[in-house]
Structure 1
Amino acid sequence: MSTVISNAVNAVATLASISTVDKVGRRTLFIEGGAQMFLTQVIIGIAIAVKFGVSGNPGELSKGFVDGLLACICVYVAGFAWSWGPLGWLVPSEIFPLEVRSAAQSINVATNMIFTFVIAQVFTTMLCHLKFGLFFFFAFWVLIMNIFIYKYLPETKGVPIEDMHTIWQKHPFWKKYVLQDKGIAMDKEGHDDV
């Protein structure tokens, strides 16, 4: 039943993301969802540490404890489903110039799949060794992800794809890595106008 509940939360939160992403912006959803994910990972880690300890034997689990964990998991799933889940695919499609978009998206998809595969392979081993510490491990990485978004990702809401180069040129960090426009006029085929 808990799987049905968390999957329903996932579906509803993804629909919420679809309806709000252009109103509130990508950065806002990333940061809010990341904060939600971080806090619930920490809360779940603490709850399991207190109840299970390092022995892994919780004794009798009360209905309130189980319901509380399920609620935290649902809050985590909702945070992921309206932020990092869908936006991890949307934002990369918006930030790359047309000339490299397909190659960049291919790299994005491959990287995502590789890390998903690696985490799936090592998760059980990590859980056996880290126990409740696994939640703190993932909370740490969610925090790093949020800091990265806060410092390095420009808002792409309402920005036409053709204007992304200008956004990168004006960004406090990325501007030193982006070629500045030299004022060369291009015709529709991309050739210099002479």
Structure 2
Amino acid sequence: MTIAIAVTFGTDGNPGHLPKWYAITIVGVICVYVSGFAWSWGPLGWLVPSEIFPLEIRSACQSITVGVNMTSTFFIAQFFTAMLCHFKFGLFIFFGCFVVIMTTFIYNFFPETKGIPLEEMHMVWRQHPYWGKFLESENDKIQTSKTETKAST
């Protein structure tokens, strides 16, 4: 899609005479892209946060997630037209790079939640190779409480 738009519009954004079949094809390909996003990455911004937060902080984290999502959507909508005028076909490459970055981040930093009840999500985060370094384990909590008990007696 990006190549077809780049060849047609170039860097000046003026395609000259554009055949009707070509315009229909470009719009069709964009619709397929949007449909693919709506069936894959699109709903994950709402689904994943509802599954990854422990019950104790879930409602607060969901509200922060919704706020960040809505704010990001607002800024993208405000700057999309200006970015399209400046980047031309490069805007599609720009967003494609973000999909690659997003995929890499999700693959490396988000745990698998399939089949895990919400009550056990805290254990998943503790066992994660990266995020587990920032969370105290159950053993640390037990030792801390025993130390505090001994110190108070």
TM-score (normalised: structure 2):
0.84
Q: Distance in 1 between matches of 2:133 and 2:28?
A: 45
- Say if 2:79 is the partner of 1:122: yes
Question: In the alignment, which residue of structure 2 is the partner of 1:163?
Answer: 120
Give 1:166 deviation, angstroms: 1.4
Q: Give aligned pairs, total.
A: 141
Question: Secondary structure of the equivalent of 1:85?
Answer: coil
Supply the RMSD in Å over aligned alpha carbons: 1.6
Give 1:69 deviation, angstroms: 1.9
Highest Rg: 1 or 2? 2
Q: Which runs of 5 or more structure 2 residues have no equivalent in the other structure?
A: 143-153
- Aligned-partner residue type, residue 120 of structure 1: A
Map 1:40-189; keep pairs closer than 5 Å. 44-182=1-139
Q: Distance in 2 between matches of 1:154 and 1:71?
A: 36
Q: What percentage of aligned pairs have identical amino acids?
A: 62
- Aligned-partner residue type, residue 139 of structure 1: G
- Aligned-partner residue type, residue 117 of structure 2: P
TM-score (normalised: structure 1):
0.67
Map 1:12-31; keep pairs closer than 5 Å. none
Q: Distance in 1 between matches of 2:93 and 2:6?
A: 11
Q: Distance in 1 between matches of 2:122 and 2:37?
A: 28
- Aligned-partner residue type, residue 53 of structure 2: F
Higher mean C-alpha deviation, range 125-134 or range 170-179: 170-179
Q: Which runs of 5 or more structure 1 residues have no equivalent in the other structure?
A: 1-43, 185-194
Q: Distance in 1 between matches of 2:36 and 2:136?
A: 36
